[in-house]
Chains A and B, each alone.
Chain A
Amino acid sequence: MSDSAAAIFDPSLELWEERVRGGAHWSGVLRRGNTLRVTDLKGGANVAMLFYNYEDKLERYNMADTLKGQHTAFLTKGNVCYSDMGRVMCSISDDTCGWHDTIGGVSNASLVRQKFGQARYQEHRNEYYRNGFDSLLNELAKFGLGKRDLVANLNLFSKVSVDEDGNMQFQQDNSKTGDYVDLRFEMNSLVVLSTCQHPLDPAAKYNPGDIDLAAWRSGPAGADDPCRNACAENQRAFLNTERLYA
């Protein structure tokens, strides 16, 4: 591999692929130098997501540091996700969607019950209604983590804009069928996610969207990487990450 990471998905470098149904929860480890492509299979999916340093789970994605470092309230191609220790956890090396939400948070049991009513496992088997908070907690618990670790999350494929008075507006149709976002991991990371609907999604029905996950060996960011060089803050955060792996 050259100095630059493989920016374009090459099937010969694929490590694995997995489909995740709408409303499901998932966790896994993505190593430094591997890219996770997340694809919205039908349009309108939402992926609530959090990252933890796999070797030291006290270090985790930090919403505020990510936003402040890059002077943005949302994420897209060229942005990176910062940990609370001043390091880059992953870079958004490609994105066909254009806006991923950082401020909406996750749904919870009472919100889902209020919006969609109740559907228990007893009657509905695996079509039962799940919610983002409990789903993320469920995955975190597999790694000894809990509510203390469930911090402000990303919502891939969702757009919440803010008007001049601070009012939050969920923008429908932000993500189309086949839209994808590539997360290139610069740090060995535990990834936990839930494919429940966004808490501000006004949809009247419980109808979370399916996604596809595919990982490939892209290599980490090179010296000429656009995410690294998007701003001086990112350059310094990459240096901090590289010191960890020196």
Chain B
Amino acid sequence: MSPELTESHLAVEDALFREVVAAGEPFMKEIKKGQVLRILDLEGNQAVDTLFYSATDCEERYDANNTIRTQGNIYLSTGTILRSNEGNPMLTITADTCGRHDTLGGACSAESNTVRYALEKRHMHSCRDSFLMALADWDKDLDKRDLSSNINFFMNVPVTPEGNLTFEDGISEAGRYVEMRAEMDVIVLISNCPQLNNPCNAYNPTPVEVLIWEY
């Protein structure tokens, strides 16, 4: 089945915030209830590892299991309600020109690189390193304990009926985006993935753009 694509009616010139996040960089920002967040894949096939925390109580955070179980489907796309560990709606995906996004594949780390590729890959930059440094700079008490199962926007991690899980070439292209409306005040934490050892970034990590609108 080819995923359904949904375009946004929001105009880029109306955005109240725009920032390009370079490959391998983190991004962290509070988004108010009702605001719309767009992540734009500028050059194509770029995985964007993403976590959300409630801005009023950071112990409430994005929960991959609750999100996929409640909708009965492992892929995220238009209509998906991103749910918290308390079961509450945090954001709703309102537009998606890529088609589907992963939330089982997690974030790469120095340690997982040693396991997946070779012990000598430990030095390579990773999403969890970006997450840790962004959390350390944030003015709240967040650290490694707060890294839970994340979303991988634009990443393609199919699960087969037999239960195999693979990393496939991305299905995103330059200019594709995913857009979501905040249902509560949230903090978004992004790592623009630096992984060079598998096809999640087409072996060439590239910049993405974050845009925010007042709805």
| A residues with CB within 8 A of B | 58, 62-65, 67-69, 71-74, 82, 84-87, 99, 103-106, 108, 110-111, 133, 146-153, 161-168, 199-200, 233, 236-237, 239-240
Residue numbers in B under 8 Å from A110 (CB-CB):
87
B68 beta carbon closer than 8 Å to chain A: yes
| B residues with CB within 8 A of A | 1, 59-60, 63-66, 68-69, 72-75, 85-87, 100, 104-107, 109-116, 118-119, 128, 144-149, 159-161, 163-167
Given contacts A73-B163, A165-B1, are A106 and B65 in contact (CB under 8 A)?
yes
The chain A residue with its CB closest to the CB of B100 is A166
Q: Return the contact of B69 from the options A147, A200, A236 (Cβ within 8 A).
A: A200
Q: Return the contact of B59 from the options A108, A148, A153 (Cβ within 8 A).
A: A148
**Are B161 and A86 in contact, with the CB atoms below 8 A?**
no
Closest Cβ–Cβ distance, residue A64 to chain B (whole Å): 2
Residue numbers in A under 8 Å from B112 (CB-CB):
62, 65, 68-69, 82, 84, 86
**Are B106 and A65 in contact, with the CB atoms below 8 A?**
yes
**Are B119 and A103 in contact, with the CB atoms below 8 A?**
no
Cα(A104)–Cα(B67), bound, Å = 10
**Are B163 and A86 in contact, with the CB atoms below 8 A?**
no
Cα(A217)–Cα(B119), bound, Å = 31
**Are A149 and B104 in contact, with the CB atoms below 8 A?**
no
Cα(A67)–Cα(B149), bound, Å = 12
Q: Return the contact of B146 from the options A84, A104, A148, A233 (Cβ within 8 A).
A: A148
Given contacts A73-B164, A200-B69, are A63 and B106 in contact (CB under 8 A)?
yes
Instruction: List, sorted by A's number, 26 A–B pairs whose CB atoms are closer than 8 Å.
Output: A63-B149, A64-B106, A65-B106, A65-B112, A65-B115, A73-B104, A82-B112, A82-B115, A84-B111, A84-B128, A85-B111, A86-B114, A105-B64, A147-B60, A152-B149, A162-B74, A162-B159, A163-B161, A164-B161, A165-B73, A166-B100, A168-B69, A168-B73, A233-B115, A237-B115, A239-B119
Q: Return the contact of A72 from the options B66, B118, B164 (Cβ within 8 A).
A: B164
Cα(A63)–Cα(B165), bound, Å = 12
The chain B residue with its CB closest to the CB of A63 is B149
Cα(A71)–Cα(B65), bound, Å = 19
Residue numbers in A under 8 Å from B68 (CB-CB):
103, 168
Residue numbers in A under 8 Å from B114 (CB-CB):
86, 236, 240
Closest Cβ–Cβ distance, residue A174 to chain B (whole Å): 12
The chain A residue with its CB closest to the CB of B111 is A86
Please name 5 further chain A to chain B contacts, defined as beta carbons within 8 Å, in addition to the given A71-B165, A105-B64, A152-B148, sorted by A numbering. A71-B166, A86-B114, A104-B65, A133-B85, A240-B111
**Are A104 and B69 in contact, with the CB atoms below 8 A?**
yes
Residue numbers in A under 8 Å from B167 (CB-CB):
68
In the A-B complex, the 8 residue pairs with the closest CB atoms? A64-B106, A105-B65, A86-B111, A166-B75, A148-B145, A162-B159, A73-B165, A74-B163
Closest Cβ–Cβ distance, residue B159 to chain A (whole Å): 4
**Are A146 and B59 in contact, with the CB atoms below 8 A?**
yes
Cα(A51)–Cα(B58), bound, Å = 23
